[in-house]
């Protein structure tokens, strides 16, 4: 959800200023790359209608994927090495781990910086001929950024204002790895420069990396073309204690992913799309997690979000996620949508075998004003079409024992004479029936629900009759003759 919110804010900001919204696959860390992730990202953006202006169509995707641009980054690495802004380090992962463990035991946090690099195996401490020998023999190595001691790095964040870091608290970040791939730091700066990126809107977790990026722009002589930065607040758990994670979804019982995916353990994890959220509602919900319009309005269309979105109204503090609020937003979007749109959307994303179109459309008409999820409409549809297979047996058996057969028989006779079968007509008919028989809905409602849908929840009784239609309603009521 956090990643999608970041994409959404970038999209809204770009569209508001007639800018371009780009997508770039940043897969420089091959150890963390998973096969399904790239398609998942594109499928999510397609579902939400957040279509990028660049990097989206098939012909561009290869060009906007960092693992395909390795040779390009080497030019910039060589420029940094030639100017003395970077250096080559030959320390093995085992050597670095041993040093960190020793430091931790003494209560100190070790980092590879302007002081410690003097005692390490790198091109700053080794003789030139030894460095050349190691390189020619293919010894594994990395390229690190050379930070000056006690330098203040300042930059303006569009959300947080002026931010200051001191290089004494930063380490000499790796720019190029032994596997021939750049790190995020170098690749991001190079790509942002080459792709003419003007604004970088990303998560708060990247704030500590930004001084490294600012220094890279300076050391590459690109400071004048450096984009503006905005770091978004974290999405927090419902209790506000810590960043929202997929484990929290399992704990609280709600999705934390937009679309369904299969985990590494082959466990299918449902997303918001599969449980019945409209894309408009999901976007609306995410937009309000960290941003507010400064008004009482909470339900937004995509066009309204584009018009009203402002970086200036994004909060610095984390945003607590509320699933109840998300359901409320989805409910309102469903309620405000046309029945035609809901019919087309549901039948596109939730294929239904042997669909009875007219019945399903009538159900959408009555259900959309009360449900929180589209899947609730599908559950009601299954009960309408084949309630005996889907019925709540405990509820059904209990209500069957309480049925007032004379009243039901009378209702059947009246229904057979009914001519006005519009929703208003049936509602008027049913109210008159209750008044004529001097009974309240509570005395007959549950019995009718048992006979007509087989479950206690669902539309109002007159709405159920309207959805089923006169003939099917009578057919199900006549089951009392078998009891």
Q: For the CA atoms of the chain, what is the radius of gyration? A: 31
Query: Residues at the annotated binding site?
Result: 246
Residue 393 reports pLDDT greater than 80: yes
Kindly name the residue from 133, 246, 357, 402 that is annotated as catalytic. Answer: 246
Domain ranges in the chain are 69-232, 349-483
The percent of residues above 90 in pLDDT, for the chain, comes to 83
For domain 349-483, the question of CATH label 1.10.10.350 is answered with: yes
User: Using the 8-state DSSP alphabet, how is residue 159 labeled?
Assistant: T
Task: Check: CB of residue 143 under 8 Å from CB of residue 77.
Answer: yes
Q: The whole model's pTM is what?
A: 0.92
For this structure, is 270 an active site residue?
no
Closest CA to 168 of 215, 114, 104, 102: 114
- Per-residue pLDDT tens over the stretch 64-82: 999 899 889 999 999 999 9
Distance from chain centroid for Cα 256: 7
- Per-residue pLDDT tens over the stretch 266-321: 778 899 999 999 999 999 999 999 999 999 999 999 999 999 999 999 999 999 99
Residue 87 reports pLDDT greater than 90: yes
The percent of residues above 70 in pLDDT, for the chain, comes to 99
- Measured CA to CA, the distance from residue 200 to residue 241 in angstroms comes to 27
Task: Check: CB of residue 323 under 8 Å from CB of residue 270.
Answer: no
Residues linked to residue 99 through DSSP beta bridges, in sequence order: none
Residue 250 reports pLDDT greater than 80: no
Q: Which range, of 91-100, 327-336, 382-391, averages the lowest pLDDT?
A: 382-391
- Per-residue pLDDT tens over the stretch 94-147: 999 999 999 999 888 999 999 999 999 999 999 999 999 999 999 999 999 999
What contacts 114, CB < 8 A, 6 or more positions away? Answer: 146, 147, 148, 149, 167, 168, 172
pLDDT, residue 31, reads 65
- Measured CA to CA, the distance from residue 235 to residue 366 in angstroms comes to 35
Place of tokens 């021939």: 180
Task: Check: CB of residue 329 under 8 Å from CB of residue 284.
Answer: yes
Query: Residues at the annotated binding site for ATP?
Result: 246
- Structurally, at CATH architecture level, domain 69-232 sits in Alpha-Beta Complex (3.90)
pLDDT, residue 37, reads 84
Helix extents (H) in 368-421: 374-390, 393-401, 405-417
């Amino acid at each position: 959800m956090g990643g999608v919110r970041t994409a959404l804010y970038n999209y809204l900001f770009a569209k508001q200023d007639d800018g371009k919204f780009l997508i770039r696959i940043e897969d420089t860390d091959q150890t963390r790359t998973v096969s399904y992730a790239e398609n998942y990202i594109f499928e999510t953006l397609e579902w939400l209608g957040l279509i990028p202006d660049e990097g989206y169509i098939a012909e561009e995707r290869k060009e906007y994927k960092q693992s395909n641009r390795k040779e390009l980054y080497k030019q910039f690495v060589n420029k940094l090495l030639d100017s003395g802004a970077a250096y080559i380090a030959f320390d093995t992962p085992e050597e670095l781990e041993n040093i960190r463990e020793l430091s931790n035991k003494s209560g100190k946090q070790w980092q590879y910086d302007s002081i410690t690099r003097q005692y390490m195996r790198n091109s700053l401490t080794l003789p030139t001929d030894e460095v050349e020998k190691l390189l020619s023999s293919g010894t594994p190595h990395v390229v690190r950024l050379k930070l000056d001691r006690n330098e203040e790095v300042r930059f303006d964040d569009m959300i947080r204002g002026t931010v200051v870091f001191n290089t004494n608290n930063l380490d000499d970040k790796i720019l190029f790895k032994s596997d021939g791939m750049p790190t995020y730091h170098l690749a991001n700066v190079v790509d942002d420069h080459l792709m003419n990126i003007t604004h970088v809107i990303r998560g708060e977790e990247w704030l500590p990396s930004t001084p490294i990026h600012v220094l890279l722009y300076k050391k590459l002589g690109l400071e004048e073309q450096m984009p503006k930065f905005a770091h978004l607040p974290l999405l927090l758990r419902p209790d506000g204690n810590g960043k929202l994670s997929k484990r929290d979804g399992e704990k609280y019982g709600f999705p934390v992913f937009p679309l369904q995916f299969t985990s590494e353990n082959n466990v299918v994890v449902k997303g918001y799309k599969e449980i019945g959220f409209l894309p408009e509602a999901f976007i609306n919900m995410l937009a309000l997690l960290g941003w507010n319009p400064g008004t009482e309005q909470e339900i937004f269309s995509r066009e309204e979000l584009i018009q009203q979105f402002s970086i200036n109204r994004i909060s610095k503090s984390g945003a607590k996620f509320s699933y109840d609020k998300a359901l409320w937003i989805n409910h309102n979007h469903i309620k405000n949508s046309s029945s035609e749109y809901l019919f087309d959307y549901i039948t596109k994303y939730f294929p239904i075998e042997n669909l009875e179109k007219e019945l399903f459309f009538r159900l959408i008409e009555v259900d959309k004003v009360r449900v929180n999820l589209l899947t609730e409409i599908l559950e009601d549809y299954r009960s309408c079409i084949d309630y005996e297979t889907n019925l709540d047996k405990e509820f059904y058996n209990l209500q069957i024992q309480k049925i007032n057969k004379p009243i039901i028989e009378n209702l059947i006779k009246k229904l057979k004479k009914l001519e006005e079968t519009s929703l208003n007509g049936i509602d008027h008919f049913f109210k008159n029936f209750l008044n004529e028989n001097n009974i309240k809905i509570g005395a007959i409602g549950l019995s009718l629900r048992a006979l007509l849908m087989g479950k206690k929840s669902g539309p109002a009784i007159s709405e159920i009759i309207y959805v089923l239609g006169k003939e099917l309603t009578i057919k199900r009521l006549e089951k009392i003759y078998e009891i």
